[in-house]
Chains A and B, each alone.
Chain A
Amino acid sequence: MKVSRRDLLIGTSGAAAGLLLTPVPWKLLGDVSIWTQNWPWIPEPVHGPAESKHSFCTLCSSGCGIRVRLAANCPVGIAGVSTNPVTRGALCPLGFAAHQMNWHPQRIREVLHHGRASSWTEAQAAFEKACSEGPLAILDGRPGRAASSLLKTFAGKRSGSYRVVFDKESQTLEPYATWSGVSMTELGYDFENARTILSFGAPLLDGWGPPGRFTRLWSERSAGQEEPQLRLIQVEASLSRTARAAWRRVAIHGGSEAALAAGVARVLLEEHLVAMQRPMPQMSLAEAASQTCLTPDAIRVLARTVVENLPVVAIAQDGNPAVAALNILLGTVAASGGIVRKAVHGAPHAAAEPKIDSVRAVLLDSSVPWEFVPQTDAEVFRFSAWDGGGNRADWLLPAPGFLEELTDLPAAPTSPVEMYAIAQNLAVPPANVKSASQFLLQIDSTLPVIEKLILTRCEEILRTRQGSVYGEKQLAVTNFGSAQKLEEELRRGAVWVGEPPRLGSFRCELKEWPTEIPVSRAADWTTAWVPPVLPPLATKLYQESNLREKPARRNA
């Protein structure tokens, strides 16, 4: 049979039309669609054995309980742990992206001397030389850890000083520590038993302390209720997140918190609303009203409202002594629902001042906030996992990042009870990073190692026979036969919580109303974030939404 050109065309057209009736072209279209989404430059998640482990967030001193999802031994997801008695499953927004921080572009991966690449050998030689030439100062941002003990021991051996850079929350307790002689780390706020909280600009619902503690409390006892179980009164110039959610908001002139505290105190004393009769503030009610832009009647109403629902505790955004004095008048110092002292007392810590004189070397642990810059002529050695920019340290030393080192966690700042937890190292650190304790151990091998210090702490806890361990289930400490067993449980993500605070265990003496009061300043929203950089996903909050202001100080 002869095939003509016409037959060929008919056949081809018929085949093409017939093909459309088969699944082939549609399958091809679907496959092409999928292929075009699998270009080699599109990142592919790493696959491997999946598991989930409990640990603790180490990015700030709150130490929130976290559940880490791992794939091929690499953290790929973070979630809260609902069994943690303090954080109760809550985390701050940045904590959910913390596992990505180890690959942050601003991660420090090599030793830098005045901005130029150097080596650990040179850094060690420079540190030893400086130490041999004069005194040493070691600064720590999170006292009470095993690493802190090591740093303190080293400073003691070299006749140096060990100082603590306290976080913003702890600084609010400074006046009570000064007036009572009790260490700031032993004091805390008993929010759980308070019924009214008078906040002078403290961002209680925006990164103040462990996110799960106060936010959960507010959510359960106050949010959206006309007559809440917990009254939150926010005194603040602007409509902040806390002011927006408060039961009552008192808008005052920025920086006049001390004047309002004095005005409220005067009304409390004049109208005999409190048991105490002194000290009377020197400032008159009219003067307080003038400074705060409130009317005297508004201050009177506030004072009466404050004592309506007791116990009440006042809290400042900083170490404002007038607010602390108001708490003394209200009788909430060393009382339930107020300022309390932990049942277990540790050694006091000296606070670091930015100006450091008469030393030859200053070593800053990676827990010291980036914005703390020592004013000194000494050679500064700063450990940090990330470079926040504008650093004035002579030596920038790469430290382990998120979950890259074994560390222990004492109670969060302002916690009313003693706590202890262990954060496992679940991520593999890059080569060439060392923590301050590893660095010092190389210089002095007689120092105790972190593992041993952690075990010693577990032995101490076991000896007290107090408190409970919160893991998969709650167990009394007495259930643990040995310190090793307790350590094992803590390494699995459990947390030890000590006894409740003992009320009346300290006294604050106040003869005169404080007069020299620094002006309070509102803090940036990233202040609570201790690492010098934000996770890249934080751009969702300030670039792809209008939820937050773009951070001016730090570069994400």
Chain B
Amino acid sequence: MSARYGIVIDLDRCTGCGACMIACAAENNVPPAREQATSRTGLTPMLVHKISNGLKGAAEREAFIPVTCMQCGKETPCVSVCPQQAVEVDETTGIVMQMPQRCLGCRYCMAACPYHARYFNWWDPSWPAGMEKSLNPGVSVRMRGVVEKCNLCHARLHSAKEKAAAAGKKEINSADCIPACAEACPTGAILFGNLADENDPVSRAAQSPDAFRLLARLGTEPKVYYKSGQAWVRAMGERNSSPAPEVAHV
């Protein structure tokens, strides 16, 4: 049976600590920022945005929204525009896979992605001398000139598949392939699991009345859900993913 892996992020639990960003970068061999890098030119497969309700004084409210590849399940924009077939939806997991080896660096996918969740490798990856010894051997380092995004830690998925195969099982246990961000979250705000499994906590969380998806009106069926008890935060989900003036980064 095919799985449909996804994430539910409880925004009321997110403190904006950034542990998910660091854990993601360490797991996926993402280099530290170059001197010239900014939030647009840097590499942040997981990026936490700070948003505000735009009011001042006692009515002022803030929240943090971790934004990653939404793993669109229907008419995936990046898949349809890629001239190289460097992006594919894995039918067995539902994960939108990016293959940097095939990528030409044309950046059509970046233009097509409504969530700005794709990043171009503007510089050769480099670490301070000797630090390459601390890189994760399960993930290859990507060259400059290719587009990167969140693959839901596909190296962990491969390990889980190997583990399942070694045990003679066909299905993998989603607990064996939890992405680094979900594993790192100190408040347990990020839940990972199989949305196709009704008994999975993630599936139940996605059905919560407080759950929503970013730009759901586009009909791309993202597999990343958000949850918040605050109406203004839920309302943000239907806005453009790039910060509007009243919700600009604080």
Contact, CB under 8 Å: A71 / B137: yes
Residues of A with C-beta under 8 A to B37: 539, 543-544
Contact, CB under 8 Å: A239 / B17: no
Given A37-B143, A104-B131, A216-B187, 19 additional A-B pairs, CB 8 A? A41-B124, A48-B137, A74-B133, A75-B134, A76-B136, A76-B137, A77-B26, A79-B183, A96-B22, A99-B134, A103-B131, A211-B19, A223-B12, A223-B13, A251-B58, A540-B21, A540-B25, A540-B32, A540-B44
Contact, CB under 8 Å: A545 / B22: no
Residues of A with C-beta under 8 A to B38: 543-544
Contact mask A44-80 → B, CB, 8 Å, 1/0? Answer: 1111101000000000000000000101001111111
- Chain B residues numbered 111-127 whose CB sits less than 8 Å from any CB in chain A: 124-127
Contact, CB under 8 Å: B186 / A548: no
Least distance between B86 CB and chain A CB atoms (Å): 9
- Chain B residues numbered 9-33 whose CB sits less than 8 Å from any CB in chain A: 10, 12-13, 15-19, 21-23, 25-27, 29-30, 32-33
Contact, CB under 8 Å: A215 / B15: yes
Contact, CB under 8 Å: A77 / B141: no
Least distance between B195 CB and chain A CB atoms (Å): 22
The B contact surface, by secondary structure, is loop
Residues of A with C-beta under 8 A to B58: 251
Q: 6 tightest A-B contacts by CB?
A: A224-B12, A544-B42, A90-B186, A536-B32, A539-B33, A43-B132
Given the known interface contacts A33-B101, A74-B134, the answer about A97 and B22 at a Cβ–Cβ threshold of 8 Å is: yes
Contact, CB under 8 Å: A93 / B132: no
A442 at the B interface (CB under 8 A): no
Q: Contact partner of A77 among B27, B33, B44, B127, CB < 8 A?
A: B27
Contact, CB under 8 Å: B17 / A78: no
Which residues in B have some Cβ–Cβ distance to A below 8 Å? 10, 12-13, 15-19, 21-23, 25-27, 29-30, 32-33, 37-39, 42-44, 47-50, 58, 60-64, 100-104, 124-137, 139-143, 146, 180, 183-184, 186-189, 228-229, 249-250
Contact, CB under 8 Å: B50 / A546: yes
Contact, CB under 8 Å: A76 / B134: yes
Q: Contact partner of A43 among B100, B141, B146, B180, CB < 8 A?
A: B141
Query: CA A541 – CA B49 in complex, angstroms?
Result: 10
Contact, CB under 8 Å: A46 / B133: yes
B41 nearest in chain A by CB position:
A544
Contact, CB under 8 Å: A47 / B137: yes
Contact, CB under 8 Å: B229 / A224: yes
A371 at the B interface (CB under 8 A): no
B23, B29, B49, B186 pick with most chain A CB within 10 angstroms: B186
Residues of A with C-beta under 8 A to B127: 43, 100, 103, 536
Least distance between B159 CB and chain A CB atoms (Å): 10
Contact, CB under 8 Å: A541 / B18: yes
Q: Contact partner of B15 among A78, A241, A535, A545, CB < 8 A?
A: A241
A106 nearest in chain B by CB position:
B128
- Chain A residues numbered 412-444 whose CB sits less than 8 Å from any CB in chain B: none
Least distance between A474 CB and chain B CB atoms (Å): 21
Given the known interface contacts A30-B102, A74-B134, A223-B187, the answer about A541 and B15 at a Cβ–Cβ threshold of 8 Å is: no
Query: CA A47 – CA B135 in complex, angstroms?
Result: 10
B42 nearest in chain A by CB position:
A544
Contact, CB under 8 Å: B16 / A241: yes
Q: Contact partner of B143 among A39, A79, A251, CB < 8 A?
A: A39
Subset of 20 A-B contacts with CB under 8 Å: A33-B102, A37-B142, A43-B125, A44-B141, A50-B137, A77-B26, A89-B183, A92-B17, A92-B19, A97-B25, A100-B127, A219-B189, A241-B16, A537-B26, A537-B30, A540-B22, A540-B25, A540-B33, A544-B39, A544-B42
Contact, CB under 8 Å: A224 / B228: yes
Residues of B with C-beta under 8 A to A215: 15, 17, 186-187
Residues of B with C-beta under 8 A to A77: 26-27, 136
Q: Contact partner of A105 among B101, B128, B135, CB < 8 A?
A: B128
B142 nearest in chain A by CB position:
A37
Query: CA A205 – CA B134 in complex, angstroms?
Result: 29
Residues of B with C-beta under 8 A to A93: 17-19, 21-23, 184
